[in-house]
């Protein structure tokens, strides 16, 4: 579990976008899971991204008019899975993130913390190996942020994920296995223990 920290504008989101093939670097080679992702053609990049990576953003990007279950089922339907199978898997994942009783609620009616739980379920329902989260707790109050971070930790462990977590919360970064710090065009690995407490950026 890798935390990516650095001031606003340091390039944390850009790094995730490039690793996740949502954007291309203007120079250099970028490898993700030993694949030179910058060299992939557009359709191969989309295939790689859909197979290997689950994304969670600061704002959840759920479809507000659709239910939690429909939102989580969406990536499976897009892969051609049947309605029934996608619905069942989505329900299982909503149970996994603690939202069994909310699955028929519209996403737009859920709280911020609940929406991030749905976003995590949607990111992981397709069974990716890598979880990339860009400030997943950024919009949440401290207590809710703590619960979401603990959920990410548990999912990371239980599903043996590789997780890249961009965060301004140094307390969370300290609890990751490794920390990358972006600062003035440099990327440095620092030890989690060396981080001060509090927020950065």
Ligand X SMILES: Nc1ncnc2c1ncn2[C@@H]1O[C@H](COP(=O)(O)OP(=O)(O)OP(=O)(O)O)[C@@H](O)[C@H]1O
Which residues in this chain contact ligand X in the complex, by CB under 6 A? 6, 8-14, 23, 201
Under 8 Å CB-to-CB from 66, ≥6 apart: which residues?
74, 106, 107
Residue with smaller CB distance to ligand X, 122 or 168: 168
Residue with smaller CB distance to ligand X, 7 or 88: 7
Alpha carbon distance 10, 138 (integer Å): 17
Q: Please, what is the minimum distance in Å from the beta carbon of residue 182 to Mg ion?
A: 10
Nearest-10 crossing angle of helices 142-158, 112-124? 20
Q: Please, what is the minimum distance in Å from the beta carbon of residue 87 to ligand X?
A: 35
Q: Please, what is the minimum distance in Å from the beta carbon of residue 26 to ligand X?
A: 8
Residue 13 binds Mg ion (CB under 5 A): yes
Alpha carbon distance 195, 144 (integer Å): 22
Alpha carbon distance 126, 173 (integer Å): 26
Residue with smaller CB distance to ligand X, 8 or 191: 8
Residue 163 binds Mg ion (CB under 5 A): no
Three-state secondary-structure class, residue 164: strand
Residues in touch with Mg ion (CB under 5 A): 13
């Amino acid at each position: 579990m890798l935390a990516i920290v650095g001031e606003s504008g340091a390039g944390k989101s850009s790094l995730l976008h490039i690793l996740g093939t949502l954007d291309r670097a203007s120079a250099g080679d970028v490898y993700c899971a030993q694949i030179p992702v910058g060299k992939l053609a557009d359709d191969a990049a989309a295939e790689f991204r859909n197979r290997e990576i689950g994304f969670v953003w600061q704002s959840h990007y759920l479809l507000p008019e659709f239910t939690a279950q429909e939102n989580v089922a969406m990536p499976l339907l897009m892969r051609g899975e049947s309605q029934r199978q996608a619905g069942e898997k989505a329900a299982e994942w909503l149970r996994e993130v603690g939202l069994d009783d909310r699955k028929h609620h519209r996403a737009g009616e859920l709280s911020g913390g609940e929406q991030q739980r749905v976003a995590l379920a949607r990111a992981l329902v397709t069974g990716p190996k890598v979880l990339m989260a860009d400030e997943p707790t950024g919009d949440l109050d401290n207590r809710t942020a703590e619960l979401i971070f603990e959920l990410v930790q548990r999912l990371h462990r239980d599903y043996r994920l590789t997780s890249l977590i961009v965060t301004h919360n140094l307390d969370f970064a300290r609890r990751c296995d490794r920390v990358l710090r972006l600062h003035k065009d440099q990327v440095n690995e620092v030890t989690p223990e060396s981080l001060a407490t509090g927020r950065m950026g």
